[in-house]
Structures are given as C-alpha cells and as structure tokens.
Structure 1
C-alpha cells in the first residue's frame, strides 16, 4: 500500500505518459522521498569537505549525504536516487569534475525532473540540479566552493538565507559554519511539513593511509522534535570526546599533565559526563595528586558504584600507578 501511494504521488507530479515507462527505474520502495534542505561545501582553509542536511523524513542522513576524503561531497534529495551518492563519488574519483559528474548522473536517470542533487569536488568546484518538477518551494544557490539547495520549503527564502549564513560564518570552525546554513534555512521557514531528522558529514581534504580516520565527523539524528538542536548537541559532545581521545593518547605516552589538560577541556564541554570526570581523576592520582583525585571520585562512586569496581582493575594493566595505601584510600571512599 505504501509503495502504491508513492507511485500515485509520482504519477500526479509527472503525468502518466512521462511516469509509467520509467516507473521501475525512477520510483522504488527503497528510495526515500527525502524532500529537504542541504549544503555541500569545501573548506577553503583546510580543504575538508562537508555535506549537511535536515528533513521531515526518518533517518535522512542514510539517504541524502555522501562524501569521501580527497574526492568530494554529494547531496541527493527530493525523489531521492540514492545511487547518485556512490556512483557520483566513483565518477569524481575517476577524475571528473563536479559538473561532469552531475551531467553523467542525470544523463542516465529518467527521473531527473524530480531529482535535486548537488556536488562539490576536491578542488571546490560545485554543480547543482533542481528538477523542473521538484515540489515548490524549490531552489538552489551556489557560492565560492559551496552549494545550498532545498525543495518542498514553506517559503522561497530558504536558499538565499542559507547562502548568506554560510558566507557570513567564515570565521567559524568549518562544521559550525555548515550548521549555521541549516539553522538559517529553518529560520526562513524550512520544510513545509516540519522537521524530523538531520545529519552532518565532514571528511578530510586528502585521503590518508588510515581510511578509518578520514571521516572527521559523522553525526546523525534520525528522529527528533528539534533535529538541528540535537545535531549541535552531538557536535559539542563530539568535540568533548576529541579531547578525551587526546587525553587517552597522552596517558599512553605517560604525559600525565597533557592528559589532565585534555580531560579538563572535555569536562568543560560536557560537565555531566561521569566518565570524563573519572579519567580526569585517575590522571590526577597518577600525578601524585591523590587528594584532588579523591574529591572528584567521591561523587562518582556515590552515583554509580561500578566505577569503584573498575578502579580495582586499573593497577593490573598499569592505568593506575598509586601505592597500595593510596589505592585502598581510593577504594574505601565514602
């Protein structure tokens, strides 16, 4: 029944003669109707690439946003052809420009009139297409190394608002600058249906020998009343855990002062997280600052005694290097 409704909606948009011959290719049950607003961009400072999106559709980040380090970023939306993501990245990787890639994707797609897709390549070239039968309000705007696009919006002000916000946010860190464009879209009216999900994907300017590290940020809000607000919260949490990871690396290198600095920075961003406070305390203890460590550990142990159990296990693996007397002082905290 759901598939029938999608077929019927598509038929109304395109007309029977245009629709039915291409039905199997253009509209399938697996392709979401991700009517939405998005941005693709290349950071002129670092070369990093990003795609960000919000929609009134479940888990929009699994359909619209695609990117690969050193290759490019793609947003595919409206009556979404998800194959544009991996196919487009493959075309970019083969050496085609953003425009050449877009031209090839559209050339082979019978549903081009209901597609909206944007591409930015690793050199900052952009290309964007808004099909003639995308649902109003639909539009696009390009600028230096970025493109913003939207369809099924409440007003026709969304692309312009997004572009202005992105251009005016040049002093912001790149991920925050991209999110500023999404916030501006919502403030200008956003999706006529409301909001449900959002995503932010940022990849490195160049591919490394450790591809598992090439996705710098990969955050998704699949279902929320205020997805952009939640996406910003997750970005701040991501920043906090970057400091936590740096602190862990400092511990591995026996750089206890460095670890303390990183854990403190993480705590400032996410003060209610017990784990961040816990490892800060352990680093203090390893720095022979046991009284300060006890002060941090006492409320942690009261809130969740499992942290006390974990502490018993740390000396065995060298992560807690206090004396036996100090260890007992920690474990018997009241």
Structure 2
C-alpha cells in the first residue's frame, strides 16, 4: 500500500511524467550491473531491489547484441528499443541518446546499455532518488538509486574489478552482494534476477539465453539467487552426463553425475538418474543399492523405475529389473 501511495503522490507532484509512466510500469528503485566476460564474450544483467519481481522490468538482453538495465522510474520500452538500436548498428551511447531524446521522464530514469563489444553507456537522471549514481568502464556498468548511502556504487565497482577470475554469473552475484553489504536499497530487500546471454546468436535462439534466474519475493533474494546458481551448476553436470550417456561414454557420464551429486548429495533426482545409468551400464548391484535408498525416501521412484523399460530408458533383463525393483 505504501508503494502505491508513493506512486500516485509522485504523479501528482510531477504531472509531466503521466505520459511516460503508466500504472503498470514498475517503480524499480534498485541497484544493478550490466557486464561482459572479456574471455567468453557472454553478457549479463544482475539486479536486486525492494520491489516485487524486479527482473521482469529491469533486465533485457539478446545474444550477439547486448544487454540493458532500465530502472528507477522504469521505462520498459528501453529494453526492447535499446536492443533494436544496437542491432541497427548504433553504439550504446547513440542508442541511449535516442531513447532519452523524446522521453519526458528522462530526469527520473536510470539506464545502462552494454553491447557485444563491451562498450557501455549509462544515464542517471538528476531527479533519481538519493543516493543515486553509476560507474562504468570497458565491459561493465554499475548503477543504483534510492540507496542507503553513497558507498554502494563504489563497492559494486570494486567487486567487479576484484573478481575478474570468477565465471561471469558468480562474478555478477558477488557484485550484488557487495552492494548489499555496503548498505543496499534504503527500503531493504525483496527480489533479484540474473540473466546471461551468449556472445553470438545461433540457429537455436531458445538456447541463447544461457542463464535466466529470478527470485520474485524473498527475505534474502541475493542469497537465494546464489543458491539457485549453485543448483544450476549442478544440473549442468547432469546434462553433460546425459550427453555422455547418449554417446555411450559411461565413464565420463559417471564423472559428471558424481560431480553433481557432490554438490547436492540430498537431491534424489540426481541420485536416481545416476543409478539408472549404472544399471544401463550393467552395474546392477551398485545401481540396486542406490535405488533402495531412494525408494526409502519416496516410493514413487520405484514406480517410475517400472515404467522406464517401456520407453527404452532402462535396458536390462527381466531378472535384473526385478532386482532393481525389490
């Protein structure tokens, strides 16, 4: 209710904004980072705010093009339009200038654009709520508004520069955590998002968004994003293991599955498909031992095992199937 009252009170104070800020536009006062991995070319946006589902309004990206963060009094069109301008060959600064040129609410906007070359352009409107500011350089821009203090942006910049050896996703989360540690949003915490796109577009655009994680409502959204990223990494091992199984490279498959299980030893899904792979590799005794422990936790996995031979996912003899089901 307080957020809604704030929204309408600001409308009454700044009537010129009525044409550019509609009621369904989010008031995403927040801190964020756009970044590019100089080694891989991957591009990313990470954001945290005391606002519900911040990732649905702030974060925009397209493989082989760039990424955009649009926040404060968010103009969502800046995401799609900004990426389209980059595709037309505009530099980030040219794109930003075009977006702001006819925007009556430009003084209340905060926007960062990064392209596939690592060039950036950032705008913090003069009427963004204190403390507000940004810092940028090759391959990154950090920006924040409505912060508790003026230490947040410098902390984000420092974290970006000090964690250059991290994978891009983990580096982005480290920047968010540094912002929060420095004081963060004056209102507190609620939601966060992390998106990474590929350096080049492919013929399968559905695979070009490499990571897309959102925490829409949480007491500690950065901690939850970090946890989800670890789960994502574990399932990367599972997916790679599946690819090895398809190629009949069972040793390599088991290495990947074991790596995943070490990360999340209590995850029954990971345990189960590892056991099924063992069974398909004729290691029945070991597979059966794993399956019995899984069945103790949830009997439904036993029923699933019964169904796998029919669709070709479990290729064992009748006797071995009985052993796996006992």
TM-score, normalised via structure 1 length: 0.94
Q: Aligned partners of 2:300 and 2:167: how far apart in 1?
A: 38
Partner of 1:293: 287
Q: 1:23 to 1:136 in 2, by over 3 A?
A: closer
Q: Is the 8 A contact 1:49 1:122 kept in 2?
A: yes
Partner of 1:248: 242
Q: Does 1:309 align with 2:303?
A: yes
Q: Does 1:78 align with 2:78?
A: no
Q: Is the 8 A contact 1:198 1:222 kept in 2?
A: yes
Q: Aligned partners of 1:144 and 1:125: how far apart in 2?
A: 6
Q: Is the 8 A contact 1:3 1:29 kept in 2?
A: no
Higher mean C-alpha deviation, range 99-108 or range 256-265: 256-265
Partner of 1:324: 318
Partner of 1:95: 89
Q: Does 1:8 align with 2:9?
A: yes
1:245-273 alpha-carbon deviations (Å, 9 max, x no partner): 11222222222222212211111122211
Unaligned runs of 5+ in 1: 13-18
Q: Aligned partners of 2:11 and 2:40: how far apart in 1?
A: 41
Q: CA deviation at 1:4?
A: 6.5
Q: Aligned partners of 2:96 and 2:253: how far apart in 1?
A: 47
Show structure 1 runs of 4+ deviating over 4 A. 1-5
Q: Aligned partners of 2:47 and 2:6: how far apart in 1?
A: 25
Q: Aligned partners of 1:3 and 1:326: how far apart in 2?
A: 63
Which residue, out of 269, 292, 303, partners 1:275? 269
Higher mean C-alpha deviation, range 140-149 or range 24-33: 24-33
Alignment of 1:122-271 (within 5 A): 122-271=116-265
Q: May I ask how many residue pairs the two structures share in their alignment?
A: 325
Alignment of 1:95-114 (within 5 A): 95-114=89-108
Q: Aligned partners of 2:19 and 2:117: how far apart in 1?
A: 32
Q: Aligned partners of 1:38 and 1:128: how far apart in 2?
A: 12
Q: Is the 8 A contact 1:161 1:184 kept in 2?
A: yes
1:134 alignment partner, SS class = coil
Q: CA deviation at 1:89?
A: 0.7
**C-alpha RMSD over aligned residues:** 1.4
Q: Is the 8 A contact 1:32 1:79 kept in 2?
A: yes
Q: Is the 8 A contact 2:63 2:198 kept in 1?
A: yes
Q: Is the 8 A contact 1:54 1:182 kept in 2?
A: yes
TM-score, normalised via structure 2 length: 0.97
Q: Aligned partners of 2:209 and 2:62: how far apart in 1?
A: 8
Q: Does 1:69 align with 2:70?
A: no
1:103-152 alpha-carbon deviations (Å, 9 max, x no partner): 01110210000000001011100000000000000010012210000000
Q: CA deviation at 1:323?
A: 1.9
